[in-house]
Every structure is written in structure tokens, then in C-alpha cells.
Amino acid sequence: DQQVKQNSPSLSVQEGRISILNCDYTNSMFDYFLWYKKYPAEGPTFLISISSIKDKNEDGRFTVFLNKSAKHLSLHIVPSQPGDSAVYFCAASRTGTASKLTFGTGTRLQVTL
């Protein structure tokens, strides 16, 4: 049973436009959510996170929105740049001892010129 789902395996966006990556989760106990970015031949790197007590967190061009009632979060990248082309993973966790992250399958973003 996949508790974190990214239903779009790929997304293509023109440079300068907005990229919206979506993520759904099923476990209502999750209270912390993160986005990771992965380039080929590298490990995933942390991008942005949000706690369940918030519904929005912004960091430069990246904004994450959380809709707890819908168990849905999204990552907005504005404006998109060619260097943003990568695979983006959504992850969720429950805080507590030996807490762990549950990842989605990833969405490959391609930003075109």
C-alpha cells in the first residue's frame, strides 16, 4: 500500500512559467512533509518542507502548499528555470523516535527553453 503518491511521472514546462508538482498521501498521522530534488548520478537533496500546522511555506522561487483535509500537497516553482530539470520526490513523516520518511515515486520535471 503506497502511502505517498505522485501520480504524474513526468511534467514538461516552458522556461519562465510555473511548475506545479502534486503529491497525495493516505496516512493521516503524517505531520511533516518534504520535497527532495534529484539529479542523475546524485542522491536526493532537500528542497523545502512544511509542518502540518502550516498550509504554506515559501523559499525563494519554491512554495509548498498543504491541504490537510484533502491530504494533498503541491510544490510550485516560479519562474521555472532549465536548471530545475530533475526528479522531484515528495516525502512524509511522523515525528517521534526513530521517525522515518515515506517517499513517493517521483515526478520528472523537464524545463524547456
Partner 1 sequence: ETGVTQTPRHLVMGMTNKKSLKCEQHLGHNAMYWYKQSAKKPLELMFVYSLEERVENNSVPSRFSPECPNSSHLFLHLHTLQPEDSALYLCASSQDPIVNQGVTFGSGTRLTVV
Q: Contact at 8 Å (CB) between 19 and 112?
A: no
| CB-nearer residue toward partner 1: 16 or 39 | 39
Nearest-CA neighbor of 101 among 7, 25, 40, 18? 25
Instruction: Pick the binder of partner 1 from 22, 57, 74, 105 (CB under 8 A).
Output: 105
Instruction: Pick the binder of partner 1 from 19, 85, 93, 107 (CB under 8 A).
Output: 93
Q: Is 64 a binder of partner 1 (CB under 8 A)?
A: no
Helices marked H in 24-110: none
**CA-angle at 6, arms to 60 and 19, nearest 5°:** 35
- What letter does residue 11 receive in the DSSP assignment? E
Q: What is the total count of residues that contact partner 1 (CB under 8 A)?
A: 28
| CB-nearer residue toward partner 1: 44 or 77 | 44
Q: Contact at 8 Å (CB) between 93 and 102?
A: yes
Which one of 16-24, 28-36, 58-66, 75-83 is the stretch in contact with partner 1 (CB under 8 A)?
28-36
Instruction: Pick the binder of partner 1 from 1, 41, 53, 70 (CB under 8 A).
Output: 41
Three-state secondary structure call for residue 65: strand
* Residues at the contact surface with partner 1, assessed by CB under 8 A: 2, 4, 9, 32, 34, 36, 41-46, 49, 89, 91, 93, 95-106
